[in-house]
Structure 1
């Protein structure tokens, strides 16, 4: 008996979405390209699905689906923005800061603006003196409320496919046994305290190395970044 050509089975958009959300992190990475390629099919399914997801989580799958949804300027996108004016992810601030502009920038993948806002928030969290001088002293980091650093980190993780965030930088540093000199090349940063915000000095996209963003001022050495990544609130996120 002659056999015919192999039958190619393509899962439906509904099945692909279900499979993506049910997958573990490693499996999601393998499905990522397929999900992005079929964004046009998936978009009509996303508003209802996003409403059902846990907005208190830090699951980057949710952030990816939101970014796919808003990738086209149409009624679906406008309805989402109207429904979630402050952003979908539930974040809080002990200092009373408004993280909505940061969340909107991350949703739109405007990582340069998001990085600028994150630096501004860190100065606000460090206190009035840090705001006035324009940068944070390492000694001003320990008193910062854990919930605020957790909120900043969750925003970056969720809207970067898990590639950016302070917790990502902590994991990388741990994998290098605390070797700061080895961390800079991994992050795509210049070693030796060179730090600038000129756009061409950094990669403001998901093409950047893992942990590339957010930036931390290194003009005064590693003390500030060490204090930040050593903060109990962020350490707990990595250990959880």
Structure 2
């Protein structure tokens, strides 16, 4: 009789396997989270705190669904598991916590706030970013924001993901919007109630950048050199 991997083997495969293997293991890990929580926590304590694999972020999300483990995470990593850059109050810490807790609509709103802060005081006062202000973004700040989305979404959300998807449709914005469900049958998806604020959303669905004023802001973000960087680690 064929059987699946033991619990410890399942965790090891998830941490060290290919992305395809990790995705296959993910559903099983979620169903065995309570049984595995001590092993998962021990593994997390030994993982490098960097965004070169989304496996650690996924395990942190899994642990955070348990109130006791969430308390442990907050004690061990008071500013977040992935070290945050300085500045902008505690918006980076808030974004990381909301992504950890799978509060994706809040994460999207915090991302919009951070983009305005990164653009400068005029964008903050105005309430939105001009495409010409995207050049003001510090590369490491944009890299960190994007890494947080990627880390806590099984590698499915973030600006780099959106850039890859736009390239996959040869830069055709109409096809891109349909692909990430910002449009359906030629009609814009109504914000916020018709967006899918869950990990079941289409790849690249988040974070949102308002397209009603045109594509130039998002286009500038997707071309920003910060998306070619990896944020600093601990």
One fold, TM greater than 0.5?
A: yes
Structure 1 residue 10 displacement after superposition: 4.1
> In 2, distance between residues paired with 1:144 and 1:97?
16
CA contact (8 A) 1:122 1:136 kept: yes
Q: 2:35 matched to which residue of 1?
A: 41
Moved over 6 A (4+): none
> In 2, distance between residues paired with 1:193 and 1:141?
27
**CA deviation profile, 1:126-155 (whole Å, cap 9, x unmatched):** 000000010000000012110000000000
Out of 45, 49, 54, the position equivalent to 1:55 is: 49
- Over aligned residues, Cα RMSD in angstroms? 1.9
> In 1, distance between residues paired with 2:89 and 2:167?
30
TM-score under structure 1 length normalisation: 0.89
Which runs of 5 or more residues in structure 1 are unaligned?
1-5
Higher Cα Rg, which structure = 1
Q: 2:100 matched to which residue of 1?
A: 107
Counterparts of 1:195-206 in structure 2, within 5 Å, are 197-198=191-192, 200-206=193-199
> In 2, distance between residues paired with 1:31 and 1:234?
28
Count of matched residue positions in the alignment of Structure 1 and Structure 2: 228
More moved, 184-193 vs 99-108: 184-193
**CA deviation profile, 1:171-218 (whole Å, cap 9, x unmatched):** 0011111111110011110278957543x1211001110000000011
CA contact (8 A) 1:187 1:211 kept: yes
Higher relative contact order (CA 8 A, sep 6+): 2
CA contact (8 A) 2:13 2:21 kept: no
> In 2, distance between residues paired with 1:183 and 1:231?
19
> In 1, distance between residues paired with 2:199 and 2:40?
22
